[in-house]
Amino acid sequence: MKFKFKHIIAVASLVLFSQTLSAEGFTLKSDAMIGQMSSAQVFNGFGCIGKNISPELSWENAPKETKSFALTVYDPDAPTGSGWWHWVVFNIPKGTKKISTNASVLKLLPTGSVQSKTDFGTSSFGGACPPKGDKAHSYITTVHALDVDKLDLDENANPALVGYMINMHTIGKSSVMAYYKR
């Protein structure tokens, strides 16, 4: 009976140790998006008055097999039946660990990165703008580690198609979420 108990303790210790190691995984961070969207990340149009500035983002501990990254900002609460894509960027080089504030408009994305169409119809960041009086919407910003050097798509690609291709090649991802209501 003592042997079995020691064996169980050893296995439990290994499980706890492996969970501790995995807790230090792929992590996305943003000082700009903490809980609530600020006026900086609110769209300027459709009745919204904001600065429409893409957030600063950084990540660490990407999977070793990563060959490139993709970045998405998505609102699953948009009353469209399919959500709303606010920003879609792919072919971000594997050595990238940070995206600067307002990189979308200022063309500060890493060389080779592609911003494709959003649901606003533009190839740039489009900030939060839920319908007036609607519940607070969730804005999920996700960095995807991909198993390919690049997606064979361009800036005119539909966000749903890009999302499909990103998901087909994702080997790891990390997200932050912020909310906004007007």
Sign of CA dihedral 161, 164, 170, 174: positive
Helical residues (DSSP H) of 64-115, grouped into ranges: 103-106
pLDDT at residue 6 above 60?
no
Q: What's the gap between Cα 72 and its chain centre?
A: 4
Residue (of 38, 177, 31) closest to 100 by Cα position: 31
Q: Which two tokens mark 136?
A: 């607070």
pLDDT digits (tens, 9 = 90+) for 85-139: 999 999 999 999 999 999 999 889 999 999 999 999 999 999 999 999 999 999 9
C-alpha to C-alpha distance for 12 and 113, rounded to whole angstroms: 44
Which tokens sit at 76?
A: 């699953």
Residue 48 in any domain: the answer is yes
In sign, the C-alpha dihedral spanning 102, 113, 177, 74 is positive
In a domain, 15, yes or no: no
Q: Quick check: is 7 in a domain?
A: no
Residue-wise pLDDT for 155-175, tens only, equals: 999 999 999 999 999 999 999
Domain that includes residue 108, residue range: 25-180
The pTM assigned to this predicted structure is 0.85
Q: Is residue 19 part of a domain?
A: no
Does 104 map to a domain?
A: yes
Query: Two tokens at 11?
Result: 């296995």
* β-sheet bridge partners, residue 140: 74, 177
135 to 30, 132, 179, 182: CA distances (angstroms): 24, 9, 10, 8
- Per-residue pLDDT band for 70 (boundaries 50, 70, 90) equals very high
Number of domains in the chain: 1
Q: Report the C-alpha dihedral over residues 86, 91, 93, 97, rounded to 10 degrees.
A: 20
> Which CATH number do you get for residue 57?
3.90.280.10
The residues facing 88 across adjacent strands are 72
